[in-house]
Amino acid sequence: MLYESYVREYARLFRTFDRNMWNYEDGCVLIGLQAMYEATGDRFYYDAICSFMDRYIEADGSIRGYDSSEYNLDRIPNGRVLFLLYRTTGERRYRVAATHLMDQLRAQPRVKAGNYWHKAIYPDQVWLDGLYMALPFYALYERDFGSGDGYEDIVSQFESVMRHLYDDASGLCYHAWDESRKIFWADKRTGLSPNFWSRSIGWFLMAAADVYELLPSDRQPLKDRLFAVWKKAMDGMLAYQDAESGMFYQLTALKDEPGNYLETTGTLMTAFSSLKGVRFGLFPEGYAEAAMKALLGTESRKFVFKDGCLSLDGMCVGAGLGPDGNFKRDGSVRYYLSEAVVPDEQKGAGVAMMAYAEYLKAQSAGALLQDYPKVRIFKKKYPAILPTDPDFVP
C-alpha cells in the first residue's frame, strides 16, 4: 500500500516542523506517529515524537505556546503522547505537562447538559470535534494518574451528544449544538448547526473508538454504554459510504449537491474507527469490508505524485462555526464547500497514519480477510494490472 511510503516520509519531514504553536493539528500527527510505533515497533516513529515534544516541553513541565486560560479543547490532543513519553523515559516533566492539560479540563466551562464548551470563545457550544480533542486524553489521564472516577463523566459526554446532536431521520450527528440558542448559526428551536460534515462525524467516531480501548476491562458496563453510542453513530455514517469510490463526501448526506466532493480526512477517520471495532471483535466482517473500501478507494483516488514526491490530496483545510462576527462560518452548504481543499495538511496526514496503523494492527490480529475487497474496487479502473498473485495489493 502507498500509505507506508507516505507516512514514513511525512514522519521524516515532521521532525523539522516548528510552527511555534501548540495545537491539535500537530497533535493529529503525533497521535498518528504513536499509532505507527505501536503497530510496527519501529523506533523511527518514536524518535519523531521525541524530536517534536522536546521543542515544546520545558524542563519544568511547562508547555511552550500553551495558554490554559483560553479554555480551548484544541490545545489538548498533543498531550496524548505525554503518557507514552513518561512511561518510556520516566522524565517528570512529561507528567507535569500532562497535569497542566488536565487542570484545564477540570476547569473547562460546561453546558448544563454536562459537555465541555468547545472553547471559551464559543460559549454554550458543543462541537463533535471537541470529544476527540478532550476525551481520549481525559481517559488516558484517568488510566495512568487518576482514580478512575472520571470514566463515568467521559461516557456521559458521549451519551449527551447522542441526545442533543443525533438526528433520527438521517442517522447522523450535526456538527455542533448551542445550548443557549444564541449564536447566529444555531437553529432557534433546536440549537443545532445546519448540516452534517463528514470530518466532524469522523472526530466523534475516532473518539469513541479510542476511549473504548482505554476503558479498563473491569468497567464493562461503561464500555457497553459507550459501544452502543459508537455503533449507532457508525451505522449511520456507513449508510452514506459512496458505493463506487468507498469514500465519503464532504457534506455527508448531500452526495448530489453541486460542488460536493469525496473528502479524504472524514473517509480515513471512519475507516480507522471501523477497523478498531473489527479488531476488538465488536463489529462483524461487513465493517471490515467498508473500512478496506475506504482505505483502498482513498489510495486509488487521492494519492498523487508531484515533483517526484508522493502526496495525499483531497483534504478540507478546515471548517468551523462562528464565533460571533465571523458570519462566513455559518454552517451553510455554501460555506462547507467554499473552504480550500489541500494536500498533506497535518490533520489528514495524521489520520492517514492512524488508519494505516489500525489496518496493520487488525491484520496482525487476524481480524481481516486479506483479499476480499480489492478486486471489486480496482477491476473496472485497472483491469490490466491485476495479476493472479493473491498477495498483490495495488
In SS3 terms, 330-375 reads as: CCCHHHHHHCCEECCCHHHHHHHHHHHHHHHHHHHCCCCCCCCCHH
C-alpha cell at 308: 517526484
Distance CA 158, CA 181 (A): 21
374 located within any domain: yes
- Secondary structure class of 305 (helix, strand, coil): strand
Contact 134, 109 (CB under 8 A): no
Distance CA 225, CA 123 (A): 28
Query: For the domain that residue 326 is a member of, what is the CATH number?
Result: 1.50.10.10
C-alpha cell at 114: 454536562
12 located within any domain: no
Q: What pLDDT does residue 371 have?
A: 53
Residue 375: count of CB within 10 angstroms of its CB = 12
- The predicted-structure confidence for 326-382, as pLDDT tens digits, reads as follows 999 999 999 999 999 999 999 999 999 999 999 999 999 988 865 544 434 333 333
145 located within any domain: yes
Q: What pLDDT does residue 379 have?
A: 35
Full-model pTM:
0.94
Kind plus residue range of the DSSP H or E element containing 262 = strand 262-263
For the segment 177-186, the average pLDDT, to the nearest whole number, is 98
What is the number of structural domains in the chain?
1
71 located within any domain: no
- The predicted-structure confidence for 272-324, as pLDDT tens digits, reads as follows 999 999 999 999 989 999 999 999 999 999 999 988 899 999 999 999 999 99
- How long a stretch of residues is the chain? 394
Contact 116, 107 (CB under 8 A): no
Question: Which of the residue ranges 172-186, 196-210, 220-234, 294-308 would you say has the lowest mean pLDDT?
Answer: 294-308
pLDDT for 265 beyond 80:
yes
141 located within any domain: yes
Residue given cell 522536546 in the structure block: 54
DSSP string, 41-78: --HHHHHHHHHHHHHHB-TTS-BTT--GGG--GGGSGG
Question: Which of the residue ranges 126-130, 136-140, 191-195, 389-393 would you say has the lowest mean pLDDT?
Answer: 389-393
Structural domain that includes position 126? 112-385
How confident is residue 223, by pLDDT bands cut at 50, 70 and 90?
Answer: very high
CA 308 to mean position of chain CA atoms = 29
For the segment 44-48, the average pLDDT, to the nearest whole number, is 97
279 located within any domain: yes
pLDDT for 393 beyond 60:
no
66 located within any domain: no
Q: What pLDDT does residue 235 have?
A: 98
C-alpha cell at 102: 488536565
Nearest 5°: CA angle at 278, between 49 and 161? 75
| Phi and psi based region of residue 251 (left: phi greater than 0; alpha: psi -120 to 50; beta: remaining) | beta
268 located within any domain: yes
For the segment 213-223, the average pLDDT, to the nearest whole number, is 98
Residue 19: count of CB within 10 angstroms of its CB = 10
